[in-house]
Each structure stands twice: as structure tokens, then as C-alpha cells.
Amino acid sequence: MAAIPRRFLIHTITVEDYLGSTSKGPRYGAPREVRCLVDEQTRAVRTPDGDQVLSTSTAYAGPEEQTAPPLSRVTLPSGRITRVIGTKRRDGGRLGTPNHTEIQLE
């Protein structure tokens, strides 16, 4: 199935993968840029642990985009820094909807 058309991926976010905690605080990987479509809309989502939390924005990227672990640091186009709640692969199968990666953000 087809992916989200590249012309719709009008934003770029910077993702720093969460690598764990140290005695000096969280540790992050090298920053990488991700082309996406950012939707700054508040909605309730579930964490990987099953807790319900509020997401203030969602980034929709191509299906080839690697996932970002929860707690990864993300800089939005506005400059706001937030963290990943969860990442989901969306496969449209035979429905005709585009395959993509959904990154739910705090």
C-alpha cells in the first residue's frame, strides 16, 4: 500500500532517542531530523503501560521512519520541546489509507 504522499510531510521535527537514565539525568541519542506532518491537537492516548494520558500533538511520518522510544526528546517546528508518549505503525492494508508512523507527543 502507498505511504503518505511526501508533499504532505511539510514539517520537520528533531528526535533524540531516549537511551535510559543516568546519575546525571536522562541520556539521549544523536539528534535526527524527521519529515512529517505535525497536528497540534490535544487528545487522550494510552501509554505502552496502558495508562491514559493527554497528547498535545501528533507527528505523522512515512512508514519507513524508525520508531522513537517513549520518553525520547522531540523539538517541534515551533521550537517547543516535548517527549514521546508512544509510536505506532499504521498499515492501511486493503483499506486504501496510507501507511505511516504515528508519533504521539506530550
* pLDDT given for residue 1 in this prediction: 56
Q: For the chain, count helices (H), then strands (E).
A: 0, 10
Q: Over the chain (106 residues), what is each successive 10-residue block's mean pLDDT? A: 86 97 96 96 87 93 87 97 92 80 94
Q: How far is CA 55 from CA 42, 45, 49, 59, in A?
A: 5, 6, 15, 11
* pLDDT given for residue 52 in this prediction: 92
